[in-house]
Structure 1
Amino acid sequence: MLQRFFIFCSGADTDILKECSPGERTKYAGIGATVFFTAVMATIAGSYALYTVFDTLFSAIFFGIIWGLLIFNLDRFIVSTIKKRGNFFDEILQASPRIVLAIIIAIVISKPLEMKIFEKEINQVLLQEKNDLTLANKDQLALQYTPSLQALEAEIDGLKNEVINKEASVNELYDTYIAEAEGRKGTERLGKGPVYKEKREKHDAELTALQALKVMNAEKISGLEAQMATLALEYDAKVAETQPVIDGFDGLMARVNALDKLPWLPSFFIFLLFLAIETSPIIAKLLAPKGAYDLKLEEQESALKSWVVQQKLQRDVLVATDRNINNKVYADIAEEQELYDYKRKKARELMQLQADSFYKKQKSIL
């Protein structure tokens, strides 16, 4: 039963194989087994590839089975359409389009399994890319908030410098009235005279203004710092909002690109393995000698071709004979006087009707 199933997978004609030796049936059962297990590998590879897309096990298995059946049908078609002709180069030329198709199928099958085999290495590459994307995203978002933050910081620095300059001015007035009292500057008279009082009052007024300026600027700085804190919160919220997009950067295309960044030699050997599996039925048919199955199949095809050619020739003779008979019959009828008189009568009636119709139309116009 298993042998019959694998023969079915090979696409061979079971009726012809029944008339062949057991060795011939074993050969085609082996070819069919290769086709079957290639489809199984395609199902596994397709399911994994689709799981990375849909992220649901049921959908991945369902579409993976459909993909495996498609590969099975293609492989079975490829193997069943290669005929042994006795000329190796003609057989290679006949199989070349099918070999190209087999290479394409091998690439499609091997890629998902490569991604599964090198999953840890791919995850490492994706982690590095996610980290780079996270830093780049933060830098890009920071460009939106940096000008506002710099403007607020400059305004805060300006308010602080205003207080510092005011303090320097007040300290200078303090030194001035102290030096006046000590007689070191100004009138150079020791004691607290009218000039000292004038300078002291000026200092006290500026000191009061300094205290008011400190309070006012402190309130402004607090407001500006609150705005900076708000911008920082908005920046953090924007980063948190965009981070899931980066965290989800592990789809099928991302994994294929990450696989391409790994060393090519291991992937190349895996591809060669699947290429050998995919092309093995074709190579087996090309290298196998012309067996009893091929001879019997060629006999059936040539017999059918001869019958079709014979039937076509008979139909051509029949058509030519019928055409000659029809020409002779119509030639004989054309010479009969009765037929000539009848057609002459009908032609006269037709010309009379045309003349009457033309007369009525012209009369209506006038």
Structure 2
Amino acid sequence: MIKNFFWMCSGADPDLLNESPKSEQIKYAGIGGTIFFTAVMAFIASSYALFTVFDNAYIAISFGLVWGLLIFNLDRFIVSTIKKRNNAWQELLQASPRIVLAIIIAIVISKPLEMKIFEKEINQVLLEQKNELTLQNKNQIADQFTPEIERIQSEINTIKIEVDAKEKEVNDLYTTYISEAEGTSGTKKLGKGPVYKEKREKHDALLNELQQLKKESSTSISEKEASIILLRNKQELQITRDQPIINGFDGLMARINALGELAWLPSFFIFLLFVAIETAPVLAKIMATKGAYDLRYEEQEDALKVWVEQQKNQRAALLSTDVALNEKVYYDVAKDEEIYNYKKQKAKDLLKLQSDKFYKKQSEIIG
């Protein structure tokens, strides 16, 4: 049963194979098995490739099955139509479209399996790319918020400098009027005289201004710091919102690009392996020697060709004979006097009828 199945896969005639030697039966079972397992490999590879795209096993298996059947039917058709000739180059030329297609299919199918084989290395490359994208994203978002944050921070610093300057001025006045009271500077008179009172009043007035300034500055700084906190929260929120997009940067195209950054030699050998698998059915048929099955098939084909040619020749001869007989019959009829007189009388009647019709039509016109 398995042998008959592989014969069916090879596209060979089972009736001719049953009459062929056992070596021929084994050969075509081997060709059929190559076609079948090539289709199985195409099914597995295409299913995995589609699973990486759709992330759905049912869709991937369904499309993979269709693809595997397509490859199976294509290989079976091409192998069954390759005729064994005495010239291997003619057979290779006949199979060249399938070989070109095999290279294209090998490129398409090998990539998903390469991504699976080198999955850990690809994940490492993707991790580095994601980290780089995360850093770039943070820098880009920071470029949006940093100028405004720095401007507000600069205003806060300006207010603090202004308060510090005012506080230093108050402290200087405090030192001045204390020194005046102690007689260590100014008039150098011990006691609280008029100069002391003047400096004290100036200090107290400036101290009230400082207290008012601190109060206003505290409110302003609090508002500005709240604005900075709000901007930083917006910045962090945008980074958090964009991060899932970066984390999801591991689709099919991203993985193919990551694979391209790895060493090319292992991928190249995997590609060659799939080229060998895809071209195996055709090459198996081409490399197989011309055996008893091929001779029987050629004999059957030649017999059919001769029979068809005979039928065409017979139809041509029949047509030629019929034409010759028709010419002779009509030639003899043309010489028959009775036929001549009959046709002459009918021609006269027709001319008379035509004349009468014409006369009647013209009479109606004239009135």
Into which bin does the TM-score normalised by the smaller protein fall? Answer: 0.7 to 0.9
Q: How does 1:234-313 map to 2 (within 5 A)?
A: 234-312=234-312
**Is the contact between residue 52 and residue 251 of structure 1 (CA under 8 Å) also seen in structure 2?**
yes
Pair 1:19-2:35 in alignment: no
Q: After superposition, give the CA deviation of every residue in 1:153-172 in whole Å (9 maximum; x if it has no partner).
A: 11111111111221233233
Report which stretch shifted further, 190-199 or 305-314: 305-314
Measure the CA separation in 1 of the matches of 2:172 and 2:323: 133
Q: Which amino acid letter does the alignment assign opposite residue 120 of structure 2? A: K
**Length, aligned pairs only:** 359
Partner in structure 2 of residue 92 of structure 1: 92
Q: Secondary structure at the match of 1:150?
A: helix
Measure the CA separation in 2 of the matches of 1:38 and 1:76: 11
Q: CA deviation at 1:56?
A: 2.4
**Is the contact between residue 41 and residue 109 of structure 1 (CA under 8 Å) also seen in structure 2?**
no
Structure 2: gaps spanning 5 or more residues: none
Q: CA deviation at 1:66?
A: 2.1
Q: Normalising by the residue count of structure 1, what TM-score does the alignment of the two structures yield?
A: 0.85
Q: Which amino acid letter does the alignment assign opposite residue 267 of structure 2? A: S
Partner in structure 2 of residue 363 of structure 1: none
Indicate how the Cα distance of structure 1 residues 123 and 243 shifts in structure 2: closer, same or farther if over 3 A, else same.
Answer: same
**Is the contact between residue 71 and residue 105 of structure 1 (CA under 8 Å) also seen in structure 2?**
no
Q: CA deviation at 1:194?
A: 2.5
Aligned to 1:337, which of 338, 341, 344? 344
Q: Which amino acid letter does the alignment assign opposite residue 301 of structure 1? A: E
Q: Which amino acid letter does the alignment assign opposite residue 344 of structure 2? A: Q
Q: How does 1:145-160 map to 2 (within 5 A)?
A: 145-160=145-160
Q: CA deviation at 1:60?
A: 2.3
Partner in structure 1 of residue 204 of structure 2: 204
Partner in structure 2 of residue 76 of structure 1: 76
Q: Secondary structure at the match of 2:226?
A: helix
Structure 1: gaps spanning 5 or more residues: 361-366
Q: CA deviation at 1:353?
A: 9.8
Q: How does 1:155-174 map to 2 (within 5 A)?
A: 155-174=155-174
Partner in structure 2 of residue 37 of structure 1: 37
Measure the CA separation in 1 of the matches of 2:361 and 2:153: 106
Indicate how the Cα distance of structure 1 residues 85 and 180 shifts in structure 2: closer, same or farther if over 3 A, else same.
Answer: same
Q: Which amino acid letter does the alignment assign opposite residue 147 of structure 1? A: P
Sequence identity (%): 59
Partner in structure 2 of residue 142 of structure 1: 142
Measure the CA separation in 1 of the matches of 2:89 and 2:97: 14
Q: CA RMSD in A?
A: 3.3
Partner in structure 2 of residue 364 of structure 1: none
Measure the CA separation in 2 of the matches of 1:187 and 1:327: 164
Q: Normalising by the residue count of structure 2, what TM-score does the alignment of the two structures yield?
A: 0.85
Measure the CA separation in 2 of the matches of 1:41 and 1:65: 11
Partner in structure 2 of residue 48 of structure 1: 48
Partner in structure 1 of residue 116 of structure 2: 116
Q: After superposition, give the CA deviation of every residue in 1:123-169 in whole Å (9 maximum; x if it has no partner).
A: 11111111111111111222221122112111111111111221233
Report which stretch shifted further, 335-344 or 39-48: 335-344
Q: CA deviation at 1:24?
A: 0.8
Measure the CA separation in 2 of the matches of 1:83 and 1:111: 34
**Is the contact between residue 35 and residue 72 of structure 1 (CA under 8 Å) also seen in structure 2?**
yes
Q: CA deviation at 1:174?
A: 3.2
Q: Which amino acid letter does the alignment assign opposite residue 47 of structure 2? A: S
